[in-house]
Structure 1
């Protein structure tokens, strides 16, 4: 069953055209920490930046690439390129976020991400080399 997600409501008193709203991403609501904080951040990746070290989040994250291209990889999924105008998401929790680097060597890339997480924990929780080794069988084959 599909629901119309358009956000246009007729306004008979308006003298200007209505807003143009386009749904660009939608996912089922993943589990959230019981006590959650929502934060939205804007990230600029310099040309060729490897991005953040391997990490996890305490809750889900939903993002949109504003400019450029990002290499994105979560545990158990093959790496992929997310381009400007496209969305990405991750469930958070126990899933390792392997990559969020700039796919462009000659231009910056930018994305906006809203994260829901435990307010008493850091936004990014680094993953140790030992844990990466223990969980290497969960990583998708590399290109």
Structure 2
């Protein structure tokens, strides 16, 4: 007998496919979730060769998945890496700068989805100005520009 019960005794059983339909693509333990956070899920698509969003930060953690193409992903303190379709990523948000999320390919678009937990009343992302980038240059992984 299963531990799962139906709330509708007359409901006929469906397939059992749902029991094996789930694939975990990432697990993460963010350092914090802003009080009263709201979630926002977006799909981002950059054309071939596009550098993506300028350096920025999020007010809370963000969790993403590459749908098509290849993305260059770089967070403060980590070397840039290429993520391909089917790979997941996350960032802690807060004071961490997200340097790159651009298209790694010059021949195809990149498309990815991101769910962000945003601090109430704060924008989804905030661009980082040039002065701050210079001030925090020592926090960027060696070998990056």
1:140 is aligned to 141
The residue aligned with 1:18 is 17
The structure number with the bigger radius of gyration is 2
- Aligned-residue Cα RMSD (Å) equals 1.7
TM-score by length of 1: 0.88
**Following the alignment from structure 1 to structure 2, what is the Cα–Cα distance between the partners of residues 95 and 10?**
45
- 1:73 aligned partner: 74
Residue 92 of structure 2 aligns with which residue? 91
Q: CA deviation at 1:10?
A: 9.7
**Structure 2 alignment gaps of length 5 or more:** 7-11
Query: Structure 1, residues 18-53: CA drift from partner, whole Å, max 9, x if none?
Result: 132111110114301112110000001110110001
Separation in 2, partners of 1:66, 1:142: 28
TM-score (norm: length of structure 2): 0.87
Displacement over 2 Å in runs of 4+: 9-12
Structure 1: 5+ residue stretches without partners: 1-8
